[in-house]
Amino acid sequence: MKTVSENACFGGVQGVYSHASTACACDMTFGLFLPKEAKAGPVPVLWYLSGLTCTHENAMTKAGAQAWAAREGIALVFPDTSPRGEDVADDEAYDLGKGAGFYVNATEAPWAPHYRMWDYVAEELPALIGRDFAVDLERQSITGHSMGGHGALTLAMALPGRYRSVSAFAPICNPSGADWGRKQLTAYLGADEAAWARHDASKVMRETGFDGPVLVDVGTKDQFIDLLRPETLAQAVAERRQQAELRLQPGYDHSYFFVSSFMEDHVSFHAEALEA
């Protein structure tokens, strides 16, 4: 593993690291914030999964999460959103290929050799940071924005016992029913919609749910709200009687101004679960 950069940040360290990924068969880069408490021993971990077009850097520099994580003594992990490299398949559209991994394991050409973001986030990267940094993998929670909110919700529900809490900012709630999803799931997983079900948060919520607290925020002025379909997740939560708080925030859009406005709420929400 290579240290790309390390900067003092709210009493802790904001690092950026790269490594050769087995899951993605290429070099991957991630951000990791460690609070000052990590100098004394392992600290709980909050994963932040970013959205379309993003790298590890967007949330790391725009979300304002480090201040609140430092207050709570929590580490933050900022993975990339897709594999990278000259030999990695890509597409001219912003919503497919690099920057748009959708947190799935692709099975279709030309994506299958590298686009295994599910395995990367669920298995490879946790093992790496657990080995090399002072983090407590017995205390993990997960959040994300947009495509990353979709990833956070589906990972949390598919891996019972892994995460103590899950939250999302403007998640893609029903990708199998929207243009932000059908295109990508077809490309990565094929035309058989049965293969998509485990990557549709609304469907998984209805069938499985999450054994813990859930928090979701969506802005009422989100320019992509018709693609996010938050009403499908709300219906699934109601049908399952899932412990969840789903909030529509008046006047907010899809940007990081929205994310940063409610980041304190989300970090505090996870801190409570991680301390339990």
What residues act catalytically?
A: 146, 222, 254
Q: How many CA atoms lie within 13 A of 173 on its CB side?
A: 26
In the block, tokens 């994506």 appear at 111
SS3 content of the chain, % helix, strand, coil (to 5): 40, 25, 35
- The answer to whether the beta carbons of residues 129 and 144 sit under 8 Å apart is no
What CA–CA distance (Å, rounded) separates 273 from 262? 17
User: Which residue, 139, 97, 130, 131, is CA-closest to 115?
Assistant: 97
What CA–CA distance (Å, rounded) separates 82 from 88? 10
What CA–CA distance (Å, rounded) separates 99 from 49? 12
**Burial class of residue 173, CB neighbours in 10 A (0-12, 13-18, 19+):** buried
**Burial class of residue 251, CB neighbours in 10 A (0-12, 13-18, 19+):** exposed
> Given the DSSP bridges, would you call strands 245-249 and 214-219 parallel, antiparallel or unpaired?
parallel
What CA–CA distance (Å, rounded) separates 163 from 247? 21
DSSP SS3 for 120: helix
Question: In terms of residues, how long is the chain?
Answer: 276
